[in-house]
């Protein structure tokens, strides 16, 4: 869905103390860049941030990185995250939000960084053959993630799209990642503690099942 331009988005983001204007500067230094040094979980394509808002405000023992490419959604993520922390009366010191092209993730994260979990929620399916390399679960991307994913790190992947899910299983296999958990119908599975994203709410309302897996190194 195309979003209306929001000329106020960038100034609002730049005035926010958990928005990182130049994430390249933190490459190799993420683990020491939070108030407390603790495990880091990364969300790729966070959209309006409802998933991040719930996770980060309820898990103060984890540090989070939330990435999207569009200021127009990042500014809504910023507001949703602030609201969730405010409602719980928690101090907002375990989240960093940033605009970054994920296909160039190695500009900001490298072997000196340790990420314990990566969330990929409802990423674009890129169904055309010539576009598949842009998928966030493509083997080429997984190879990049492996540089900063810890030895017992996990990738949690949810999607509405059957073809993307099936082909991603191949990508994970090609990258030597093991599937630790898999369901083709998350909401009717034994998995507990799922937090629905904006797209998950939308597709569920249309009767489309959420496919979900956890891959480990």
Ligand X SMILES: C[S@@+](CC[C@H](N)C(=O)[O-])C[C@H]1O[C@@H](n2cnc3c(N)ncnc32)[C@H](O)[C@@H]1O
C-beta closer to ligand X: residue 154 or 200: 200
Is 128 one of the annotated binding-site residues?
A: yes
Bridge partners of 179, per DSSP, are 215
Choose, by CB under 6 A, the member of 88, 124, 131, 184 that binds ligand X.
124
Minimal distance, residue 151 CB to ligand X, in Å:
26
Stretch that binds ligand X, among 12-20, 26-34, 96-104, 187-195 (CB under 6 A): 96-104
Per-residue binder mask for ligand X (CB under 6 A), 133-172, x = binder: ----------------------------------------
- Is residue 122 a contact residue for ligand X (CB under 6 A)? yes
CA dihedral 29, 33, 34, 40 (to 10 degrees): -20
Using CB under 6 A as the binding criterion, the count of chain residues that bind ligand X stands at: 18
Residue in 130, 196, 114, 131 with CA at minimum distance from that of residue 158? 196
Residue in 143, 176, 138, 174 with CA at minimum distance from that of residue 157? 138
Contacts of 64 (CB under 8 A, 6+ apart): 40, 41, 42, 43, 52, 55, 56, 94, 95, 96
Hey, which bits of the chain come out as E strands?
40-44, 63-68, 95-99, 115-121, 149-159, 178-183, 211-216
Choose, by CB under 6 A, the member of 47, 84, 149, 153 that binds ligand X.
47
Is 185 one of the annotated binding-site residues?
A: no
C-beta closer to ligand X: residue 5 or 89: 5
Minimal distance, residue 22 CB to ligand X, in Å:
16
* Phi and psi angles of residue 144, each rounded to the nearest 5 degrees, phi first: -65, -45
Question: Beta strand 211-216 with 178-183: parallel, antiparallel or unpaired?
Answer: antiparallel
Bridge partners of 41, per DSSP, are 64, 117
Is 37 one of the annotated binding-site residues?
A: no
- Is residue 198 a contact residue for ligand X (CB under 6 A)? yes
Q: Residue 61, exposed/middle/buried by CB under 10 A (0-12, 13-18, 19+)?
A: exposed
Q: 């130049």: which residue's tokens?
A: 22
Is 32 one of the annotated binding-site residues?
A: no
Choose, by CB under 6 A, the member of 80, 121, 137, 210 that binds ligand X.
121
Is 160 one of the annotated binding-site residues?
A: yes
Residues that bind ligand X (CB under 6 A): 45-47, 68-70, 73, 101-103, 121-124, 197-200
Binding site residue list for S-adenosyl-L-methionine: 43, 68, 101, 124
Binding site residue list: 43, 68, 101, 124, 128, 160
């Amino acid at each position: 869905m195309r979003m209306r331009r929001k000329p106020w988005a960038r100034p609002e983001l730049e005035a926010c103390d958990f928005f990182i204007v130049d994430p390249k500067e933190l490459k190799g230094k993420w683990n020491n860049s939070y108030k407390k040094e603790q495990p880091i979980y990364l969300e790729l394509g966070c959209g309006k941030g409802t998933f991040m808002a719930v996770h980060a405000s309820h898990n103060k023992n984890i540090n989070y990185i939330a990435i999207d490419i569009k200021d127009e959604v990042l500014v809504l993520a910023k507001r949703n995250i602030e609201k969730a922390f405010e409602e719980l009366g928690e101090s907002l010191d375990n989240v960093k939000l940033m605009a970054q092209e994920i296909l160039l993730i190695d500009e900001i994260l490298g072997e000196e960084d340790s990420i314990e979990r990566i969330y990929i929620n409802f990423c674009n399916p890129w169904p055309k053959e010539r576009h598949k390399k842009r998928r966030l679960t493509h083997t080429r991307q997984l190879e990049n993630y492996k540089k900063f994913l810890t030895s017992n790190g996990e990738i949690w992947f949810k999607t509405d799209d059957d073809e993307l899910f099936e082909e991603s299983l191949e990508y994970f296999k090609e990258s030597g990642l093991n599937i630790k958990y898999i369901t083709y119908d998350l909401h009717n599975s034994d998995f507990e503690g799922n937090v629905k994203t904006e797209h998950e709410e939308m597709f569920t309302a249309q009767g489309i099942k959420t496919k979900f897996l956890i891959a480990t190194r």
